[in-house]
Amino acid sequence: MMFDAGILFSSVLNGLTTGAVYALIALGLTLIYGVLHIINFAHGASLMLALYAVYMLKIQFGIDPYLALPIVVPGMFVLGYALQRVIINRASHGKDENILLVTLGISIVMENAALLVFKSDTRTIDTAYTLTTIPIGPAMIALPKLVAFAGALVVSAILLWIVGKTDLGRAIRAVAKEKHGAKLMGIDVDHVYAMSFGIGLACLGAAACFLLPAYYVNPQVGSGFVLVAFTVVVLGGMGSFGGALIGGLLVGVVESLGGLYLGESLGQIGIFVIFIGVLLFRPQGLFGAKA
Amino acid sequence: MNAMLRQLGGIALFVAVVACIPLFTKSGVVLNFVMMALYAALLAQAWNILGGFGGQFSFGHALFFGTGAYIQAMAQLQGGLNPWLALVLAVSGSAAIGLMVGALTFRYGLKGSYFALVTLAFAEVFRILALSVPFTGAGVGLMIPLAESFANMQFASRKGYLYLILGFVSAALLVTWWLKHSRFGAYLQAVRDNEDAARAVGVNPFTVKLGAIGLSSALMGAGGAFYVQVFQYIDPGIAFGPGTSVEALVAAIVGGIGTLWGPVLGAVVLHVLADITRNLFGQLPGINMVIYGVVLVLIVMFLPRGIAGLGATVKSLFSKKGKP
């Protein structure tokens, strides 16, 4: 099957805008993995909660999704900090599988609590700019998607700055590399763990604000994202920020082209095939060094 | 030797007691409860063979459940086969898928969290395929026509299904019992506890884990076939969605993994809990799963060995004075 260059171009462009949001979600996941060496299975469900928060702020108080950023991002940070300190940190008993199980349990609770409160309806919001499109070359791109693309890149840059240049970032990197050494240097490891988890979830808060104007929310929306985020993270190499960024954009484009060539439902298979393939044949990721 | 026979006696006693329940009550509610608890126990037992004895935590056991369910339905609808023959196909077909997934993942040494994620991804791939190809009935699903007779594996009352699932559960109990006392089971637990050490003494981790996933997926496939016979319907979400994977895993962990009775215990406890919440809150969507999730978190936090390991956990609390 062949498509003309215009359709292909707009499909790639659309994929890139979605991919930037995937990258932002994956950055949170890879930060948590890189520092705590745990896989946060509740990442998708947490994103779903953030989307509902943005939705409720718009419906109840008329707050525009982009203006909700300063409310939702700190809110998600606090949630993440508390989850790590109160539940996850106490459940590991020194085994990775336990963390996976606890975060799975948390995601089950979150998803079904949302189902209880909001029912299974799919909800969207209306903003003045929802249907606005901007022409780029032969393609028409929805304005919210462009904002999401730019916003995701800006937040990613802020995250990289925090981890790279601030004292907190130095502490995070020290704990990620050698937690016993960091502890001896006077770093409060439990606090750094919780901060990392909080920042990881704060990324989801930002992603939710950028997503909702062009997307929808229902209680299951997170499970779609959770595998995509894992795919991005393993593709880019677990714990690698640059890898997550490029991996996110790549997965967005693959999904978009897969949908174009295989149809909406079958198109998603491309992502899972990449995921299984990378885990089997190149578990260090495309850009990671062999362990 | 003594413990071996005592456990065998325990299994016989359990089967005899459960088999007598229909003699004392004709209540559809009671029989349905026992049947569904046994069905949940079967899924948990299947998960326990790979997760509890093999240490490989699968998040996508619905893959084998769904394969069994679809083979059971398609063999009857499109192959015109008798359900009992279809059952043989369903069990061996799920085992074949299990061996295939196991051969791929274990060959490349996937363990721990990575194994969990990859099984989840496999289940998702199958769910999307079942939604997309015509011979599974796509999103509409497949329906088995009603024809109640023993030859059709369809029963007029819950009693028939109860005996059918009791047969599966006792088979799973015997397999688990065999794992506890056989050389293969010892190899499997050795690989779970320390793969390198097991390899050093001459155990081949790859074949041992492959055997475990084969047994586990075969039993899971039997669960899928049973589901189709009882509800006479299957669709991609029920077959390959995360619900069944979670149910199998939570019941096994709550009961206590790597034990003979843990999965049965966990399934019964969860079903009693589900019944209580249903009576308290009515049929609210999601309330059961909220309870399951909370129980899972609490068990992992405070009772990492499950209900069956309660005694050992308490003992270690007192003996070491440290964390369990």
Encode pLDDT of A23-56 as tens digits.
889 989 988 888 888 888 899 999 999 999 999 9
Find out whether B259 and B52 touch, Cβ atoms under 8 Å: yes
**Which tokens belong to B202?**
């001459």
- Stated as kind and residue range, the H or E segment containing B234 is strand B233-234
Residue A273 lies in a domain: yes
Spans of chain A below 70 pLDDT: 1-3, 287-291
Residue A24 lies in a domain: yes
Question: Which residue in the set A106, A119, A227 is minimally distant from B121, CB to CB?
Answer: A227
Q: Which of A38, A276, A278, A281 to mutate to test the interface with B (most CBs of B within 10 A)?
A: A276
> A213: domain CATH number?
1.10.3470
The three-class DSSP label of residue A63 is coil
Residue A289 lies in a domain: no
All domains in chain B, ordered by first residue: 2-320 (1.10.3470)
Residue contact B294–A105, C-beta within 8 A: yes
Residue A233 lies in a domain: yes
pLDDT in tens, chain B (324 residues): 688 888 889 899 999 998 888 888 888 888 889 999 999 999 999 999 999 999 899 989 999 999 999 999 999 888 888 999 999 999 999 999 999 999 999 888 777 778 888 898 899 889 988 888 877 777 788 888 877 778 778 887 888 899 999 999 999 999 999 999 999 999 999 999 888 898 888 889 999 999 999 999 999 999 999 999 999 899 998 889 888 998 899 999 999 888 999 999 999 998 898 888 888 877 777 788 888 889 889 988 888 888 887 777 777 767 654 444
pLDDT computed for residue B139 by the predictor: 74
Does the CB of B297 have a partner CB in chain A at under 8 Å? yes
Encode pLDDT of B3-28 as tens digits.
888 888 989 999 999 888 888 888 88
Nearest to B307 by CA among B254, B257, B261, B246: B254
Does the CB of B125 have a partner CB in chain A at under 8 Å? yes
Residue contact A112–B108, C-beta within 8 A: no
Does the CB of A219 have a partner CB in chain B at under 8 Å? yes
pLDDT computed for residue B323 by the predictor: 44
pLDDT computed for residue B320 by the predictor: 54
Residue A217 lies in a domain: yes
Find out whether B184 and B268 touch, Cβ atoms under 8 Å: no
Question: In angstroms, rounded to a whole number, what is the distance separating the alpha carbons of residues A246 and A226?
Answer: 18
Which amino acid would we find at residue B213?
I
Q: DSSP alpha helices (H): ranges in A136-240? A: 143-165, 167-177, 179-184, 189-211, 221-236
Residue A225 lies in a domain: yes
Establish how many alpha carbons lie within 13 A of residue B48's alpha carbon, considering only the half-sphere containing its beta carbon: 34
Q: Which residues contact B167 (CB under 8 A, 6 or more apart)?
A: none
Give the domain extent around A268. Answer: 10-117+134-281
pLDDT computed for residue A215 by the predictor: 83
Question: Which residue in the set A116, A120, A268 is minimally distant from B128, CB to CB?
Answer: A268
pLDDT computed for residue A233 by the predictor: 86
Residue A291 lies in a domain: no
Q: Which of A37, A41, A109, A261 to mutate to test the interface with B (most CBs of B within 10 A)?
A: A109
pTM of the model: 0.86
Question: In angstroms, rounded to a whole number, what is the distance separating the alpha carbons of residues B208 and B110?
Answer: 15
CB count in 10 Å sphere of residue A277: 12
Strands (E), chain A: 133-136, 139-142
Range 64-123 of B in CB contact (< 8 A) with A: 104-105, 108, 110, 112-114, 116-118, 120-122
Residue contact A105–B293, C-beta within 8 A: yes
Instruction: Give chain A's end-to-end CA distance (angstroms, integer).
Output: 40
Q: Which of B120, B288, B300, B303 to mutate to test the interface with A (most CBs of A within 10 A)?
A: B300
**Interstrand relation of B142-143 and A139-142 (parallel, antiparallel or unpaired):** unpaired
Residue contact B110–A280, C-beta within 8 A: yes
Number of domains, chain A: 1
Residue A5 lies in a domain: no
**Which tokens belong to B111?**
């363990």
- Of all residues in chain A, the one with the smallest CA distance to B132 is A266
